[in-house]
Amino acid sequence: MSAFNVGDVVQLRSGGPEMTVLAVLHSGEVTCAWFTPDDAIQSEKIPIAALMTVELANP
């Protein structure tokens, strides 16, 4: 079972933008999406080991 679920907010362990998990793949990767500085949406498959969960503040 993956440590991540669809809809989780994650970040690369090395830093970078907050990303939303779109899919958890059997290959040990997740598909994530995030906004670039010019507000375009980017997505990529990223190894689970490279990600950590982001704790969101309550509104």
pLDDT: which is higher, 57 or 18: 18
Q: Specify the residue for token string 């990529």.
A: 44
Residue 56 clears pLDDT 90, i.e. is over it: no
CB distance 53 to 8 below 8 Å: yes
pLDDT: which is higher, 55 or 51: 51
Residue 57 clears pLDDT 90, i.e. is over it: no
pLDDT tens per residue, range 11-48: 999 999 999 999 999 999 999 999 999 999 999 999 99
CB distance 4 to 10 below 8 Å: yes
Confidence bin at 2 (pLDDT 50/70/90): low
